[in-house]
Amino acid sequence: MSYRITKILSLLGVVLALAGMPVAAADSEGAAKVRNSLGMLLPGLRFGEITASPIPGLYEVVIGHKLAYVSEDGRYLMQGTLLDIELQRNLTEPRLNAIKSKAITGLDENLMVIFGPEKEPAKHNVTVFTDIDCGYCRKLHSEIDSYLEKGIRIRYLFYPRAGIGSNSFKKAVSVWCADDRKAAMTAAKAGKAIEERECDNPVRADLALGEQLGVSGTPNIVLDNGKMIPGYIPADRLLAILDSEGSKR
């Protein structure tokens, strides 16, 4: 593979491991032409949905959890935000949110540490990429009862910012491998020492998913509709956002 093609893939945050992703069931004539062109220029990489953009001759292409715009002949590819200036509307953001929503809501909850209301059904559901050693992650978790009281269910995914093999990574693995994951999570985030353990765990997969979705810091809160909220946010404010977004379970 040429350096030019490798650079394109790097910019998109896509590797050939995504080659097995599903392809859209049916393309329009123009989208089919784009797919064929990309297939010749980027052999070995399969693409998801390809649809016409509002700009004639430019197509929206889903690659993993990313979005790109490609000319009909497959020669020109660009990333960025497509804006409708007349309507003052961001056309890219809702499409990216839909891609993220599909990725997040399709996850196996058996591979998460989940804190939910015990007495009443949850009103809302959020997924939080968290780092055991992150100060604002600890602040959020110290207020977990406030979120639960407001009917917000917290689904934790691990995102040790220091990377694989770091102390934060090892703590995440130990939390997952603990006999009581929720208790271990609470203790670790309170700065208490927990027993170091190893077992099959989802920490690497969570970290990779976060990178693909564009997580750059923690905590990072993802709503079911795909909207991402970086940083700590108190329970009452998060509830107001969830109510306004209509992201009920």
Per the DSSP assignment, residues forming a β-bridge with 50 are 61
pLDDT band at 201 (very low <50, low <70, confident <90, very high): very high
Domains identified in the chain, total number? 2
Is residue 49 domain-shared with residue 157, that is, in the same domain?
no
Enumerate the active-site residues: 131, 134, 137, 161
Is residue 9 domain-shared with residue 115, that is, in the same domain?
no
- The DSSP result for 88-142, as a single string, is TEESHHHHHHHHHHHHHHTS-GGGSEEE--SSS--SEEEEEEE-TT-HHHHHHHH
pLDDT band at 13 (very low <50, low <70, confident <90, very high): very low
pLDDT band at 126 (very low <50, low <70, confident <90, very high): very high
In the three-class reduction of DSSP (H, G, I as helix; E, B as strand; rest coil), residue 84 is classed as strand
Sign of CA dihedral 182, 183, 185, 186: positive
What Å distances lie between residue 51 and 24, 74, 108, CA to CA? 10, 13, 29
User: Would you state the pLDDT for residue 218?
Assistant: 97
Spatial CA neighbour of 159 closest among 234, 101, 217:
217
Does the pLDDT at position 23 exceed 70? no
Q: What is the mean pLDDT of residues 65-72?
A: 86
List, for residues 70-117, the tens digit of each pLDDT value: 888 888 888 889 999 999 999 999 999 999 999 999 999 999 999 999
List, for residues 144-160, the tens digit of each pLDDT value: 999 999 999 999 999 99
pLDDT band at 38 (very low <50, low <70, confident <90, very high): confident
- The pTM assigned to this predicted structure is 0.80
- The DSSP result for 197-232, as a single string, is ---S-SHHHHHHHHHHHT--SSSEEEETTS-EEES-
Is residue 234 domain-shared with residue 132, that is, in the same domain?
yes
Is residue 71 domain-shared with residue 193, that is, in the same domain?
no
Average pLDDT in the chain: 86
- For residue 93, tell me if it sits in a domain: no
Is residue 60 domain-shared with residue 128, that is, in the same domain?
no
